[in-house]
Structure 1
Amino acid sequence: MPNNSVVLRVPVLGIIGCGRMAEAMLSRLLVDGLLPEQVWVSARSPQRQQYLAETYGVKVTTNQEVATAEILLLAVKPQAFADIEVELADAEVARRAGIVVSIMAGIYSGRLRQLFPQRLIFRAMPNTPAQVGAGVIALASDSAAGELEIEKIKSLLGVLGRVVAVSEGQMDAVTALSGSGPAFIALIVEALCDAGVAVGLSRSLTQELVYGTIAGTVQLLNERALHPAQLKDAVTSPAGTTIAGLEVLEAAGVRGTLMQTVKAAYERAQALN
């Protein structure tokens, strides 16, 4: 049965830029008990607008009307935010009280507060696994927000996965690590799958083995509270297959390359500000 408590915690939700991530949140909130009539959304293309209205029964309207919602989710690309600023700059709705939750990378709360001076500002960074409810969502709360407002936003974002509290100063690092991280992991997964095929396994069997190995390794690390080095050493026996493979990884500088990858993503996130 739907969790009707969610309805009480989220009285009205407005979404500007209802793309894939925002749609994932919308669909899960509706399953949990949020009513379609409590949600107003905007989208750029007429096809997208029609899809959202027909699929979810929500009200699709202008950015200015969406901005009247008590909780406003900003989910446009960071590069498109300047257009939103121009559109809402002189609109009275931007000066109403309420809450703004931004999932835009690189747009700091100070800039958001200039547009929404009377609202509490929250910044969140979900990652792609949030589309299946398995994400990690970093949340930086407004210093003026009370416990009730913070719990309300945690409940809103919690349908996407685990919510982790961070400071806004950490948000660029979060973007680089967990925001971009799924792409880095997917590249590693793809390479392992190709390696399985190279040593004679079928593609379907290789994918089953690789996906299961990665999921199981993460579960073991979590449930046993192991440091990754502990698990690595437990798998590595003298003169065995694992140490032979690890030697190749270390010679290729994989450890350092991954660190530099995250640092490059971090620098790019800072450049978006």
Structure 2
Amino acid sequence: MTTDTTPARPAAPGPAPHPDPDPDLAGYALRLGDDALVLCQRLCGWITRAPTIEEDLALSNIALDLLGHARTLLSYSGQRDGTGRGDDDLAYRRTEREFRHVLLVELPDPDFAATVVRQLVFSHYAGLLYTALADCADPVLSGFGARAAAEVEYHRMHAAQWTVRLGRGTTESRRRMTTALDALWPYTDELFEEDGPSSRLDAAGTAVAPARLRDAWQRETAAVLATAGLAVPAPRWRATGGRAGLHTEAFAPLLAEFQSVHRQYPGGTW
């Protein structure tokens, strides 16, 4: 056995800072990029472990789409915050408290039903958001929204089909879906939290405040659950904190795994 002793090449420089830094827009893109990046990492955990080979490939392709979304959004965040950091900088060189994704995407998957429910929740939210972003005034977010909405349409269809299949399947599959719905629904409110920066961007037409999407999201997800013969949960509490960098205990080991190669070979590319 031989060992490759070729040293890793230095990492390529990030994108040039935007001539007009905008902290609100940078933070907005960072949040959406973190959502996509962390969910991508969670879905990668199903590779070689999905119920079927076809599903293994489907989840892998969805994760790949999410990675592309994350790269675009994180790169744009680094440009608009004035630092010129690239997507790798923001993915690999931040601590746990610096990530701004919703808690929903970091939760571990106890079973396949939980993954299906999370995909139902997130893909319908993302589809509505990206479709709305396609009409915003910011050219980068608008172009991203148009491309990403087309990709997320498959994610929505995939999640809806599995929701109906499991909801109307066996007694066991229905039980697991009900359990997953009850466990994950309290985390959905955080997707639509309102704050000052997103409200200002929405008022200016530069971006979209997620709160505006709640009613449409409720109608869409309720329609899928009705077809599946499943009830919309009525949670007694709601989760929050992810957008402020406060995460569950599940995120630290996920982040450590994700950043492990970069931390072992900092600045290296192959």
Query: TM-score, with normalisation over the residues of structure 1?
Result: 0.29
Bigger relative contact order (CA 8 A; separation at least 6): 2
Which entry has the higher C-alpha Rg, 1 or 2? 1
- The structure with the largest helix share of the pair is 2
